[in-house]
């Protein structure tokens, strides 16, 4: 399993003014598994995500995916390389229907592809397939802004999956959702992982983290301080120290 090198970073550093958000973070995620990234607030998890996905440029360091350097690539190019993501505060296109939200992730090839109708049969079927799988098919023609928070989170996930990424980064999938939905998301992650997708999840909800992940990386002050399977992390003193601030 670990022969294939997936998403990895080397000495990633990023400072905002005087605040160092990432301090030489070197991480390698397990390809083909569900990875979790945890750590106290302000430990640099979201900045790490943003650097890895090209949304912000690191001051120094390197990101590789399957051995290829993707550090300076534009976000859309990183998506094309196979790494998709969701946002911490769930971002959907508010004034587009759910179906269009998902269809927006279609990546047309060449000029003819660009000019084809956005609602070509095959893509619509695929998009509806994802909506169905996430249980929001009945909302296909509803504008996203009229959907509930939980529905929007599912919709965002559907959009990311429509792009068929090999590796999916989820930024706080459990944030603000109810327990029933939380279970659904957990199950979904396991299912999709079984189908061959790698996950990296930033999450505060320890129940979710411990139940779904195979491998956990703990962040503190902009760098990883521990990693290992859930059982190990649960008993790691450094992790406890980081969370309690001692």
Partner 1 sequence: MAIARRPVGRIVQVAMVLVLAAAVLSFPALAPNPYILSAGVVVLNYAVLSTSWNFVGGFTGYISLGHGALAGLGAYGTALLVTRAGLPSFVALVVAALLVAALAVPIGFAALRVRGASFVIVSIALVLILLLVFQSWASLTGGSRGLVVPRPFPGLLRPEHHRVFYFLFAALLGLALLAWWLIDRSRFGLGLKAIREDEDKAEALGTPTFAYKLVVFVVSAGFTGLAGGLYALWFGDLDPVFQFSILTGSYMVLMALLGGVRNLFGPLVGALVVGIALEYFKVEFGDTQLHLVATGVLLALVVLFMPDGVLPAIGGLLNRVFRPAQNSIREVTAAQLRDQRAAEAEAREPVDAAAGRREGAR
**Contact residues: partner 1, CB under 8 A:** 53, 55, 74-77, 79-80, 84-85, 87-97, 100, 103-108, 113-119, 138-139, 141-143, 146-151, 159-160, 163, 176, 178-181
Cβ at position 63, least distance to partner 1 in Å: 15
Task: Select from 235, 232, 185, 225 the least CA-distant residue to 205.
Answer: 185
> 134 or 226, CB closer to partner 1?
134
Cβ at position 238, least distance to partner 1 in Å: 31
> 78 or 216, CB closer to partner 1?
78
| Distance separating alpha carbons of residues 219 and 201, to the nearest angstrom | 13
> 102 or 226, CB closer to partner 1?
102
| Distance separating alpha carbons of residues 80 and 69, to the nearest angstrom | 14
> 177 or 218, CB closer to partner 1?
177
> 93 or 243, CB closer to partner 1?
93
Cβ at position 129, least distance to partner 1 in Å: 17
Cβ at position 12, least distance to partner 1 in Å: 19
| Distance separating alpha carbons of residues 120 and 95, to the nearest angstrom | 21
Cβ at position 230, least distance to partner 1 in Å: 27
Beta bridge partners of 60: 13
The three-class DSSP label of residue 167 is strand
Q: How many CB atoms lie within 10 A of CB 23?
A: 15
Inter-CA distances, 182 with 37, 74, 88, 126, 173, Å:
18, 32, 15, 24, 8
Sheet with 83-85: list strands edge to edge. Answer: 83-85, 167-171, 198-202, 34-38, 215-220, 223-228
């Amino acid at each position: 399993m670990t022969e294939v090198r997936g998403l990895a970073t080397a000495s990633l550093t990023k400072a905002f003014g005087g605040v160092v958000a990432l301090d030489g973070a070197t991480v390698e995620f397990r390809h083909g598994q569900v990875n979790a990234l945890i750590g106290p607030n302000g430990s640099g998890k979201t900045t790490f995500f943003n650097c890895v996905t090209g949304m912000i440029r690191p001051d120094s360091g390197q990101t590789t995916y399957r051995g290829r350097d993707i550090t300076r690539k534009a976000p859309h190019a990183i998506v094309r390389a196979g790494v998709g993501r969701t946002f911490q505060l769930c971002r959907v296109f508010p004034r587009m229907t759910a179906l269009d939200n998902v269809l927006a992730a279609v990546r047309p090839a060449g000029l003819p592809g660009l000019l084809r109708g956005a609602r070509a049969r095959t893509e619509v079927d695929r998009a509806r397939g994802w909506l169905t799988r996430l249980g929001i098919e009945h909302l296909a023609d509803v504008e996203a802004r009229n959907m509930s928070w939980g529905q929007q989170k599912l919709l965002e996930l559907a959009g990311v999956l429509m792009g068929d990424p090999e590796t999916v980064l989820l930024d706080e999938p459990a944030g603000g959702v109810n327990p029933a939905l939380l279970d659904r998301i957990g199950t979904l992650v396991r299912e999709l992982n079984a189908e061959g997708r790698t996950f990296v999840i930033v999450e505060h909800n320890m129940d979710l983290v411990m139940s779904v992940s195979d491998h956990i990386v703990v962040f503190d002050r902009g760098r990883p301080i521990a990693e290992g399977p859930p059982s190990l992390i649960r008993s790691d003193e450094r992790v406890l120290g980081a969370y309690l601030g001692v």
